Amino acid sequence: MVVAAFGMAGRAAAEPPAPPLAVVVGKNSPIRSVTLDTVRDVFLRRQRLWPDGSRTMPVNLPADSPERREFSRRVLGRLPVELVDYWNRLYFDGIRPPLVLRSPDAVCAYVATEPAALAYVPRDAVDTNSCRVVLELQAAGEER
């Protein structure tokens, strides 16, 4: 498992540090590890196939969830609202945005049944019976 650290530039001083996020796959997924670049490419739909030829299945939490905002800021470099035009352009080329599920529990249940799925949840919400962590996203300055 790889741990990636990210800067907190532009954050209000009073804002509490973001919780660690875990990038997860199902226990039976053939995906064993991913890099931050791979996660970014999968979620921006730049990489639509895994090395074994199966279709990537990125899964987001709702756009208004703090976890989605933090994931988007840390990994994609933009907030969900800033990606609307990006997704509109891709949609007209036949490329759909990632699936959105309403809760970390729903995400864990989905990745448990879909071997090609890649998702993120708060680190403390990982269901270890159904998910495997392939990358941890820590805020800068946090010790692991």
Q: Is the pLDDT of residue 61 over 50?
A: yes
pLDDT value at residue 19: 77
Q: Is the pLDDT of residue 142 over 60?
A: no
CA distance 67 to 60: 9
pTM for the model stands at: 0.85
Q: Is the pLDDT of residue 96 over 60?
A: yes
Q: Do 26 and 125 touch, CB atoms closer than 8 A? A: no
* Mean pLDDT rounded to a whole number for the chain: 88
Summarize the confidence of residues 45-73 as an average pLDDT.
96
- Whole-number percent of the chain with pLDDT over 90: 81
User: Which domains, ranges and CATH numbers included, belong to the chain?
Assistant: 18-139 (3.40.190.10)
